[in-house]
């Protein structure tokens, strides 16, 4: 009986020691903040034949630059330490109706999520196919540039899955 109590106590102490060593760092606190592209952007005219662009405010010193090429609308998160591509949509995409979700760990942005159209295969000579749904694009920011995933918006719990993808990428690097 005493041996059994001793073994149980030893197991409990070992489990406690393992749990303490696994807690070397406190778990990060994940939160989200949102940027409305309708209300936070300023438009700028292009010069010397270039298209205009828009700059939108984001958290943590980030801005979002929205600019155009032949048939596309491009979204980049920018900060002093670099430019981070977020997504590309067709030129006809009405981005003013869009919100960006910024994923933060302990108050610092590390990823952004945007809902954009999902396109089918383009016809010959076309850049984009017909819109056949929506997808959530999850893109990493500074230090997490290799985070790049998409979640079909029709998937049950798509928003939570996109957040989980971002948070998992953060945890795998820290």
Digit-coded pLDDT (tens) for 83-102: 999 999 998 899 999 999 99
Contacts of 105 (CB under 8 A, 6+ apart): 28, 29, 30, 167, 170, 174
Digit-coded pLDDT (tens) for 115-159: 999 999 999 999 999 999 999 999 999 999 999 999 999 999 999
Q: SS3 of 117, please?
A: strand
**Residue (of 154, 39, 44) closest to 100 by Cα position:** 39
DSSP annotation of 148: E
Give the model's confidence band at 23: pLDDT under 50 very low, under 70 low, under 90 confident, else very high. low
Contacts of 119 (CB under 8 A, 6+ apart): 90, 128, 129, 130, 131, 132
Instruction: Specify the pLDDT at position 6.
Output: 35
Instruction: Compute the mean pLDDT over every residue in the chain, rounded to the nearest whole number.
Output: 87
Instruction: Specify the pLDDT at position 3.
Output: 38
């Amino acid at each position: 009986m005493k041996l059994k109590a001793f073994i149980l106590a030893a197991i409990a102490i070992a489990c406690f020691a393992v749990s303490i060593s696994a807690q070397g760092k406190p778990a990060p606190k994940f939160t989200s903040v949102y940027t409305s592209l309708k209300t936070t952007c300023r438009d700028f005219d292009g010069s010397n034949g270039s298209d205009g662009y828009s700059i939108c405010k984001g958290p943590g010193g980030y801005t979002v630059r929205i600019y155009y090429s032949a048939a596309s609308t491009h979204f980049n998160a920018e900060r002093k330490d670099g430019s981070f591509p977020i997504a590309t949509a067709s030129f006809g995409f009405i981005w003013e109706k869009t919100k960006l979700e910024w994923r933060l760990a302990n108050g610092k942005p590390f990823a952004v999520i945007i809902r954009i159209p999902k396109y089918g295969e383009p016809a010959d000579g076309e850049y984009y196919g017909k819109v056949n749904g929506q997808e959530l694009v999850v893109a990493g920011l500074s230090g997490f540039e290799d985070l790049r995933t998409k979640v079909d918006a029709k998937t049950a719990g798509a928003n939570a899955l996109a957040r989980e993808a971002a948070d998992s990428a953060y945890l795998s690097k820290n």
